[in-house]
């Protein structure tokens, strides 16, 4: 991830001046205060691993409370991975019930909101698809190329990547105007922040809809254009690199670096 961020940063800096005027115009469009309805009745989630199962559960929880989704299609390529993802969600929901944070009735409703499948055609009529597969650009581009041909024309695509180029994936999809990044943080069920990423091609209405959806599922969205590392990792990675350098040079111990950031910068 670190090398990917720095590589993308170097590439992005060489073309930033050429696109500055366009970027400013797009930014003004994204600053509209007009209320937006996300209107994503049917949600698709691709990949039920560490992040994907949390996204599916979070969306299903919101749908249980305010009915923002009539159904959630949770897709995996293999039944083994599908079952593991389903078990992760069920286990998490069971814990909420045991802690009396969720009623048994709501837990049942939540699980019934999710359709678990290995049939990708079930995604074809979804309104929004959130992809959370492994961080491999070739795999993602191939997936989006196929989805762009299979899904209804109005389907919006959103990648949960933490560092890969949203623009590259958007162009591969064949519908770059309907493509955003939605970078959740782990564990998804607990962490409130979602970075919502736009490219120079993203339709402003689509972007606003995705920002509203993030709010609808109980998260706090921050806006960012497609730039290496987005916001959090762009700030976090240099700090981590400097911490490693301090220890490697013998300037400070790991313990003292940790204490310094905890007590001096308010880090956990």
Residues that are catalytic: 162, 183, 195, 233
Cis peptide before 187 (omega within 30 of 0): yes
Asked if 81 and 49 touch (Cβ cutoff 8 Å), the reply is yes
- Torsion from C-alpha of 111, 114, 119, 122, nearest 10 degrees: 160
> Which value, to the nearest 10 degrees, does the dihedral of the CA atoms of residues 256, 260, 261, 267 take?
100
Helices and strands, counts by H and E, the chain? 9, 8
In the beta sheet, which residues pair with residue 13? none
Encode burial over 245-262: b for 16+ CB neighbours within 10 A, e otherwise: ebeeeeeeeeeebeeeee
Kindly report the CA angle at 227 between 223 and 231, in degrees rounded to 5?
Answer: 50
Residues 6 or more apart in contact with residue 268 via CB below 8 angstroms: 262
Q: What is the DSSP letter of 117?
A: E
CA torsion sign for 119, 124, 128, 129 is positive
């Amino acid at each position: 991830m670190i090398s990917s961020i720095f590589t993308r940063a170097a590439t992005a800096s060489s073309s930033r001046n050429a696109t500055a005027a366009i970027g400013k115009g797009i930014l003004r469009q994204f600053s509209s205060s007009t209320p937006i309805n996300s209107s994503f009745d049917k949600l698709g989630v691709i990949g039920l691993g560490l992040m994907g199962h949390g996204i599916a559960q979070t969306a299903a929880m919101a749908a249980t409370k305010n009915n923002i989704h009539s159904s959630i299609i949770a897709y995996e390529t293999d039944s083994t991975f599908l079952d593991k993802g389903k078990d992760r969600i069920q286990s998490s929901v069971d814990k909420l019930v045991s802690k009396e944070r969720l009623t048994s009735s709501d837990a049942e409703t939540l699980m019934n909101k999710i359709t678990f499948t290995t049939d990708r055609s079930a995604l074809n009529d979804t309104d929004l698809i959130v992809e959370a597969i492994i961080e491999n650009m070739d795999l993602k581009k191939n997936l989006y190329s196929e989805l762009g041909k299979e899904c209804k024309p109005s389907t919006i695509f959103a990648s949960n990547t933490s560092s890969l180029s949203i623009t590259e994936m958007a162009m591969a999809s064949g519908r770059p105007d309907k493509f955003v990044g939605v970078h959740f943080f782990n564990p998804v069920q607990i962490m409130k922040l979602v970075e919502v990423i736009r490219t120079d091609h993203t339709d402003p209405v689509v972007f606003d809809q995705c920002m509203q959806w993030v709010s609808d599922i109980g998260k706090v969205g921050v806006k960012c254009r497609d730039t290496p590392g987005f916001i959090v990792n762009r700030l976090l990675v240099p700090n981590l690199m400097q911490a490693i350098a301090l220890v490697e040079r013998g300037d400070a111990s790991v313990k003292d670096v940790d204490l310094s950031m905890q007590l001096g910068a308010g880090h956990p």
